[in-house]
Structure 1
Amino acid sequence: MTRPVPPAALRRLAPTLLAACLCAALPATAQTAASAPVELHLPAGPLQASLSSLARQSGIQLLFAADSVSGRNAPALDGRYTPHDALQRLLAGQGLAMQERSPGVFVVNAAPAHAPATPRTPARAASSAPSSATTTSLARVTVSASTARMPQGETAMPNTITVLTREDIAQQLALGSDVSRVLSSQIPAFAPAREKMSNYGETMRGRGILYMVDGVPQSTPLRDGSRDSHTIDPAMIERIEVIHGANALQGIGGTGGIVNIITRSAPSEPGAFLLDTNVSYSAALPSRHDDNGQRGAALVGVRGEQFDLVAGLAHEKQGLYHDGEGRSIGTNAQGELMDSTSSNVFAKLGWNIAEGHRLQVMANRYELRGLDNYLAINGDYRTGRPTISVPGDTPLDPPMNRSRSLTVDYSAADLLGGRFQAQAFAVDFEGRYGASQWDPWGNTGANAAWDQTQNESDKRGFKLTQSWSRIADTTLDVTLGLDGLRDRTHQVLLASGMNWVPQTTYQSLSPLLQLHWWPTDHLMLSGGLRYEKGELEVGDYTTLPRYGARKVAGGKPTMSETLPNFGAVWYINDRLNAYASYSEGYTVADVGRVLRAINRDGQRVDSLIDLSPVVSDNREIGLEYDDGRFSGDIAYYTSESKLGSVLIYDPGIDAYAVQRQATRVEGFESNLRLRLGNSRLGLGYARANGRYDADVDGRLDSDLAGVNIAPNRLTAFWEQSWTPQLSTRLQASHAFDRDFDLRGARVAEFKDYTTLDLVARYTLDKHAFTLGVQNLADKQYISYYSQTTPSNPSYFSGRGRVLTLGWQYRY
C-alpha cells in the first residue's frame, strides 16, 4: 500500500518537468523518441515512480496528475520497448487510458466508463542500452521497504538520498567491478575507492557506513574488518540505495550513512523468461606484464503463476595493477583486488502463497581470494617513492573474503488492516588477512615470526514491520517494527593459534515507531523513535604477549539508547522542494581494537568506558529543484558525537588504535544536472570538515585524519546519445588539496589529483558492446588514503590507464 498523494496543489507532474522543455524546442528529437524502441529498466513498484522513470529513460513528455495514479502499482519492465508499448504495459488493468497528443507527448487520464481495459501483454527482454538519465523527479527519491522500513512507495525520508539504478551500475561496471568505485564515481561525498580488498578508510560524512544486502547487515562493527563492500558480485545487483548521514532505522552501524544493495529479481509477468550474460576483458594501456583480467557472469530468471526464480553465477580473475608511470602497484597485507579471483553463486525463489501473501528465500555465496603471486617492496612516503610489487610468494595463506548468507522474507499486503513484513537472516563471514612479520610475541627484525589473522563473524537476526496508511481516514501513516540481532565475532592468529580478539557477542532487541503525516497538501512531517538495547558478552581472556599478556576479566556490559528522528519536506511549488531533518545513528566502537589493545593489568570489560556506544547526531537542510531541463539539489549538514570513535595510527604496533574523543563534522553536498537534446551534463561537489578533541580538554583542536574523512571533491560528467545504438559518457573527478593538523601542528597533507574515465556503448538487437577506459589521461598519482596515512608499506599509487572491453547478451 502507498502513502496518499496530495491533490491538485501537489500535482507535481514529475515527468512533465523532466521533458517539457525538450519537447517544445526539439520536436524532431521527441518524434524519434516516441517511435524508436529504447532499453528500459523499470522495477516493480508505485505507478507514479514507474511513469517518471519511463519519461526519464525514453525522453518522452508524459503528462499526468499525481492523484490520478496514487495507490496504484506497476509491474517491472526490463527490455527494449517503444514508449507507446511500455505505457500500455504499465497501465494494463489500472483503469487508466493514454492519449498521444503529438509525437513524443502522452497524456494519462482516468479511463471513461465505456473504455475497454488496456490489454495485458507478455513481458519481453532484449539487449541493454546505456541510461539516458538518472535524474530524480521532483516527487523526491523513494527507496524500498528494506531500506526505509516503510512499504515501497511511501514518501521519501527528509534526507539526502541517492539511488543508483541498474543502468547507472552497468555504466560504471564497464570500467571495473569494484562496488566501492561505483559508489565513489557517482557520489562525491563518498571517499575515493582504494581499489583494494579492504575498504578501510572509505567513509561518508566522516563516519562509517552500514552496508546491507536486501536489508540484511553485512558490516562487522564489533571488529571492523573493512571488507563489507565485497560480499556480492555486481552482476547480482538490481540497484543501490544510499541514505546520507546518520540514521538508526536499520539499527547498529549507520552513523555515516546506509548503503543497501537490492538484488536482482525474476521477470514480472507470468511465463516470462530472462537470460542476462556478460563477458569482459581488461588490460593496462599500454599493456604491461601480467596485467590482464577476465570476467564472466550469467543470470537466468523465470516466473510462473505462483513461483518465480532468479539465479546467477559470476567469476572474475584480475591481473596485476600498474600506475600511470608503468610501475606495478604494491600489494597490501589487508588484501588485494588485483592478482585475485572471485566467484559468486546466487539464487532467489519466490512463492505467491495466496492473494497478497508472498514468501521469498534468497541464498548467496561470495568468495574473493588473492592469488599471492607477488611480494611488496616498501615505498618511502617522505621522498614520494610508492610501494611496488615484485614476483614472489608470501608465507602462509593468501588473503580471502568469504560471505555466505540466507534470507527468508514474508509479506502480507493486508494483515490487521495494514501491510506486514517479516525477515529472518543468517550471515557467516570470514575475512583472512595477508601474512607479515607481525610477531605476536613482539619480536622484530629477523627474529620476528610470520603470522596472519582471520576475522570471523556470524549474524542471526530478524526484522518485523507492520505499517498502516491513512489512519482513521486521515493523512497519517504509522509503522511499527521490532528488530532482533545476535552478532558473534572474534579474530584469530592462524599460525600461532592465539586469539587476537576474544569471542565477542552482541545481542539486541529493538522496537521502533515511525510516523508520516501530511497536515497540508504542501507539507509532509515525519518523526520516529528507535529504542536500541544491547548486551555485549566477553569472556575472560589474555592479551597477546606483544601487549604484555594482560589478563582481562570478562563481563556483560549493557547499553541502551533512545534514538529519535524527525523532519519535514515542504513542496513549495511544482519545481522546488525544501527539507530539514534531525536523526541519530548508533554503533559501538571497534570493540575488537579496544579489547586487543589493553596494556594495563586489572582491567574489567564491565568497566571499560571505551565500550560505550557511539551516537551521532545528524542535522540536515536541503533544497531540490527540477524544471524538466535543469535539476539540482543542495544540502548542508552537521554530524556530532560527544563520545566518538577516532582511529589514530600507532607506529609502535604498526596499526591503528581506537581513541574515544568528541568529534564534529560539517559539510556541504550538491548535484546539478542539465539536459540539452541528446546530451546530458552533470556536476557534483562535496565538502566536509571534521575536527576532534585530541587532548580531551573539551575543545575540538585537531583535524580528523584521512582514514576518517573523505577529501573535498568535484565530479562532472557528459553523456551523449549519438545514435539510437551508440552512446558515450565522459566523467571526471577532482580531489582538492587538504592539510591535516594535530593540535596546531601539521602532521599530513594531501596533494590534489584529477582523473578522467570514458565509457562507450553500442547496442545491436539483443547484444551490447562496451568499451571503458579508466584513468583516460594515464594520470600518475598517490591515492588519498596513502597520502594521508604515514606508513611506507601502505604508500600506494593509483591505477593507471586501463582498457576494458565487454559484451552482453540479454533475452
Structure 2
Amino acid sequence: MKLNMSFTALAVVAALAPPALAASQPQEMEKITVTASRMDKPVSAIPNTVTIIDQEALQQQFRTGRDLSAIIGNLAPSFSPSRQKMSNSGETLRGRAPLIMIDGVPQTNPLRSGGRSGQTLDPAMIERIEIIHGANAMHGMGAQGGIINYITRKPGADGEQQVSLDVTVPNKANARGTSFGASYGFSGKTELVDVIGSLGYRNNGIYYDAKDRVIGVDTTQGESMDSQSKDFFIKLGHDFARSRLELMVNHYDMDNNGDWTGVNGDKAQDIPTGAIEQRQPWEAANNEVTTSSLTYNHTNIAGQQLHLQLFNQNFQAVYGGGCFDSFYDPAFEGSDRVTLCGSGKQGENLFYEQSRNKSNKWGLKTTLVAKTVAGLPLDLAYGVDLFRDTTEQDLVVTGMSWVPQSRYDNIAPYAQLDLEPLADLTLSAGVRYEHARLKVDDYKTLWGYGDKQIAGGATDFNETLFNLGASYNLSPSLRLYSSYSQGFGMPDIGRVLRDGKSFPGTAPGIADSVALSPIVTDNLELGAAYQGEYFSAKLAYYHSAADYGARLALNADGFYNVKREKSLVEGIEASLTAYLTDKDDLGMNLALMQGRYDSNDDGRLDTDLDGANISPNRINLFWTHNFDNEMSSRIQANVFLDRDFNKADGREYANFDGYTSIDASLALPLLGGSLSLGIQNLLNEDFYTYHAQTVGTNARYFKGMGRTLNMGFSLAF
C-alpha cells in the first residue's frame, strides 16, 4: 500500500481545527510527568508522540494476558504484534528497534541483541510504561525507534501486602494447556528505610490454535509455551531532608521445559508448523537476567536538581538446538563429544548444537537540571553517561566461540535546553556527543561462516547528535508539536562479527569492516494533541531515515544476518477517544507505515522492508464501561490490514493476510479483592502470526493462539 504520508497527515491535522471542537468544554492537557525525558517533563512539553500506559490500563490488559509485547501493541499500534514466543526478534517501534529499559536501566543488549530484551521482568512488577515514539538520543545507544521504559512499583501504604492469582485455559480445556501464575507483594516503611518487594511465578502450558491443534514450538530462538518463569523484585529507599537514595534489584528466570519438539510445516502448501510431545535432545532455551540500580536524587545542589544512577545488568540466554549446517565443523567428525543428527548439503555428518549468549552491562547516568537559568524562562539539563558492555556468544556442546568476547566502552556528555519565550510555547534543543570504542581480540569465524581468521583490535566511533523541537498550545485543549531528533545505535555487532562475509579480503581485521559503523537515524515528526471534555485525539506524521541502517536478513538455517543499507520508514499514528458518558469510553488507535531500503547500493530506495523490520498497518478499537457497583468491562479489537512486500523489480516476495482478533474482559469486586475474567481471541480467529507469514520458514510457520479464557483474583490486605 502506497500513501502520500505528508499530505494525509496535514489533512488530518487540519481536521482537528477548533471549529469542529467548539461544542466541547475544553480542559487543560494532562500533567503526567515523563521520567524517560531526563528532565521529568509533562507530556505537554515534549515535542514527540508519547504513550503512557498507566496502572489502570495495565490491569485492563492483564485480564486477557500477560504478554508485554501484545499489551504495548494493543495500546501503541506502531509496535509490532507479539510473536507469542520467548524471542522478540523483529519486534519494532515505528519500524526501528526501540530501547527497552527498566527504571532507566537498558535491557537491550547493544553488542548482541539476541531478541530476549522483552523477557526480563514479570509484568506484575510494573507500575506504568512510558513510551517515547521515534529516534531519541537522550538515553544513549539503541533508541532508533524510540524508548520503552518500564517503571516499577513504588512503596505504598505501610504494611500493605497483596496476593494475585491467575489461570488461563485454552478453548480446548485440558490440564496440559492450562497456564497459571501467582505473585506476592509487600510494602512497608520504618524510620530508616522504605521497602517494596514481590515474588512471582508463572507456569505456561501448551498453546493451541483456533482449530485446537498444538502450536509449533520454536526450539531455536526460544519458546514461551511449556515454560516456567520466576521473578524476585525488591526496592529499598531512604529519604533524607532534600534527597533520596534507592536500590532496586530484579532477578528474572524463564526456562522452557523442553518436553515438546517442533514438526516442520510447509509454507507453500499452507501447512503450519506443529509440535509433538517428545523430549528435545539439547538443553531447552532459557533466560536468566539480573537488573540492579542504585539511584540518588537531590532537589537542591547549588540551586540545581541532581540525578545519579549506577546500574548493572547481567544477562545470559541459552538458545535451543538443532541440526544446522552453520554449526558444522569437520574437526568434530567422529568425535564422541557430539551427537549426530543428519547429513548436510555436501554429505557431511551434522550434529546437534546450540548457542549461549552472555552479556554484562555497567553504566552511570548523571543529570543536573537547572530551572529558570539566569532568571529567564529557560531550563537546562546536562550531564554525562558512562557505559560498558562485555558480550560473547559460544556454542554449548563443542565450546567453540561464535561471537568472540567483545567490549564496548562509551562516554557521552549531553545538554538539553527548554525555553518558554511565550506562555504557551516551549522550544527545545539538545546535543549529545557519543565517543565509543569497540575492542575485540583475535578470533576465527565458525567453519560454516567462512572459517576466517580475523585480526582483533580496537576501533573508535564518534558521533554528535542533535534534537530540535517546538510545542505550542493553541488553546488549553489543543497542542501542536514538531521535532527533529537523531538516534544512535550500533548494528547487532555479534551478527556482524560471526559472519565471515562482513570481512572481505585476504587478511581481514576488525578495523577493516565498515559493517561495524554506527547507525544514525534521523527522525522528523509533526503532531497534534487535543484533550477536551467529550473526546481526546492525537495525530502524528513521522519520517525516519538512516543513510546506513541495519536490516535483519534471514539465512537458510533460520539465523539472522545484518545487512547495512540505506532505509526509510514513514507513517501516521492516530488515536481518538470519545467520552460517551461518565462511564463509557469509545476509542480507536491507528498506525499506518511503509518502509523501503536500498537493495543494491545505488542510492535508490527500491525494496520493501519485510516483517522482521517493519510492523503491519493496524487499527485498534476499544470500548470500556464502568458500572455503578465498581465493575468494569473492556472490549477491544485488533484489526491487522493486508500488506504485500515487493522487490526492486516489482515482484512480490512476501505477503501478509490480515486478520481481526477481539478480546473481552470484566472486573468486579469480590471478597474484598478484585476478580477478573477475560477472553482473548473471543471469536476464535484462525490466523498465522505476522512474523510467520512475512519471514517465517517451514520450521517457523506458526499459527496464532486460539480462544483462551483468563481468570484472575487479587487481594490487598
**By the TM > 0.5 criterion, same fold?**
yes
8 Å CA contact 2:642, 2:656 repeated in 1: yes
Letter of the 2:444 counterpart: T
1:467: which partner in 2? Answer: 369
8 Å CA contact 1:180, 1:229 repeated in 2: yes
2:29: which partner in 1? Answer: 138
Letter of the 1:220 counterpart: N
Equivalent-residue separation in structure 2 for 1:184 and 1:685 (angstroms): 11
Cα drift, residue 340 of structure 1: 0.3
1:665: which partner in 2? Answer: 569
Equivalent-residue separation in structure 2 for 1:626 and 1:341 (angstroms): 43
Percent identity of paired positions between Structure 1 and Structure 2: 37
Equivalent-residue separation in structure 1 for 2:49 and 2:352 (angstroms): 46
1:61-119 Cα deviation digits (max 9, x unpaired): 9x9xxxxxxxxxxxxxxxxxxxxxxxxxxxxxxxxxxxxxxxxxxxxxxxxxxxxxxxx
Q: Which moved more, 1:737-746 or 1:712-721?
A: 737-746
SS of match in other structure, 1:190: coil
- Residue 170 of structure 2 is aligned with which of 267, 273, 284? 284
In structure 1, list runs of 5 or more residues that go unmatched.
Answer: 1-19, 25-60, 64-136
Alignment of 1:575-724 (within 5 A): 575-599=477-501, 600=504, 601-651=506-556, 653-677=557-581, 678-724=583-629
Equivalent-residue separation in structure 2 for 1:676 and 1:305 (angstroms): 47
Cα drift, residue 493 of structure 1: 0.4
1:445: which partner in 2? Answer: 342
Q: Which moved more, 1:412-421 or 1:147-156?
A: 147-156
1:559: which partner in 2? Answer: 461
1:537: which partner in 2? Answer: 439
Cα drift, residue 441 of structure 1: 2.1
1:208: which partner in 2? Answer: 97
Cα drift, residue 727 of structure 1: 1.2
8 Å CA contact 1:679, 1:719 repeated in 2: yes
2:65: which partner in 1? Answer: 176
Equivalent-residue separation in structure 2 for 1:666 and 1:731 (angstroms): 26
Letter of the 1:138 counterpart: M
Letter of the 2:576 counterpart: L
8 Å CA contact 2:171, 2:212 repeated in 1: no
1:272-313 Cα deviation digits (max 9, x unpaired): 232121101111023146100110001111123442000100
Letter of the 1:666 counterpart: E
Equivalent-residue separation in structure 2 for 1:726 and 1:359 (angstroms): 39
Structure 1 residue ranges, 4+ long, deviating more than 4 angstroms after superposition: 152-155
Equivalent-residue separation in structure 2 for 1:421 and 1:178 (angstroms): 32
Structure 2 residue 334 is the aligned partner of structure 1 residue 432: no
Letter of the 1:349 counterpart: L
Letter of the 2:82 counterpart: A
1:88: which partner in 2? Answer: none
2:117: which partner in 1? Answer: 228
SS of match in other structure, 1:660: strand
Cα drift, residue 153 of structure 1: 5.3
Alignment of 1:748-787 (within 5 A): 748-764=654-670, 766-787=672-693
Equivalent-residue separation in structure 1 for 2:423 and 2:694 (angstroms): 49
8 Å CA contact 2:168, 2:708 repeated in 1: yes
8 Å CA contact 1:620, 1:638 repeated in 2: yes
Letter of the 1:606 counterpart: A
Structure 2 residue 233 is the aligned partner of structure 1 residue 346: yes
8 Å CA contact 2:103, 2:152 repeated in 1: yes
SS of match in other structure, 2:497: helix
1:708-755 Cα deviation digits (max 9, x unpaired): 000000000010113332111000001110011121221100001000
Shift in alpha-carbon separation, 1:198–1:248, aligned structure 2, 3 A: same
2:288: which partner in 1? Answer: 402
Letter of the 1:363 counterpart: V
Alignment of 1:40-189 (within 5 A): 138-139=29-30, 141-144=32-35, 147-151=36-40, 156-189=45-78
1:486: which partner in 2? Answer: 388
8 Å CA contact 2:32, 2:43 repeated in 1: no
Equivalent-residue separation in structure 2 for 1:387 and 1:435 (angstroms): 17
SS of match in other structure, 2:34: coil
Cα drift, residue 696 of structure 1: 0.5
1:413: which partner in 2? Answer: 299
Letter of the 1:594 counterpart: V
Equivalent-residue separation in structure 2 for 1:345 and 1:242 (angstroms): 25
Cα drift, residue 559 of structure 1: 0.4
Equivalent-residue separation in structure 2 for 1:154 and 1:282 (angstroms): 36
SS of match in other structure, 1:167: helix
8 Å CA contact 1:142, 1:155 repeated in 2: no
1:470-491 Cα deviation digits (max 9, x unpaired): 1122210001111000001111
Cα drift, residue 442 of structure 1: 5.7
Equivalent-residue separation in structure 2 for 1:326 and 1:656 (angstroms): 31
2:7: which partner in 1? Answer: none
8 Å CA contact 1:21, 1:628 repeated in 2: no
Equivalent-residue separation in structure 2 for 1:758 and 1:691 (angstroms): 36
Equivalent-residue separation in structure 2 for 1:21 and 1:262 (angstroms): 37
SS of match in other structure, 2:57: helix
Cα drift, residue 511 of structure 1: 0.4
Q: Which moved more, 1:421-430 or 1:170-179?
A: 170-179
Cα drift, residue 389 of structure 1: 1.1
Alignment of 1:174-323 (within 5 A): 174-267=63-156, 272-288=158-174, 290-323=176-209
- Residue 477 of structure 1 is aligned with which of 376, 379, 391? 379
Equivalent-residue separation in structure 2 for 1:513 and 1:242 (angstroms): 21
Equivalent-residue separation in structure 1 for 2:129 and 2:67 (angstroms): 13
8 Å CA contact 2:489, 2:519 repeated in 1: yes
Equivalent-residue separation in structure 2 for 1:175 and 1:286 (angstroms): 17
Structure 2 residue 294 is the aligned partner of structure 1 residue 388: no
Cα drift, residue 165 of structure 1: 0.6
1:361-410 Cα deviation digits (max 9, x unpaired): 11110001101110111111111111111100111211001101221001
- Residue 368 of structure 1 is aligned with which of 248, 254, 257? 254
Equivalent-residue separation in structure 1 for 2:189 and 2:533 (angstroms): 36
SS of match in other structure, 1:171: helix
SS of match in other structure, 1:360: strand
Structure 2 residue 425 is the aligned partner of structure 1 residue 523: yes
1:342-361 Cα deviation digits (max 9, x unpaired): 00001000011x31111111
SS of match in other structure, 2:374: helix
SS of match in other structure, 1:229: coil
2:709: which partner in 1? Answer: 803
8 Å CA contact 1:725, 1:764 repeated in 2: no
1:731: which partner in 2? Answer: 636
Shift in alpha-carbon separation, 1:385–1:288, aligned structure 2, 3 A: farther
8 Å CA contact 2:451, 2:500 repeated in 1: no
8 Å CA contact 1:141, 1:161 repeated in 2: no
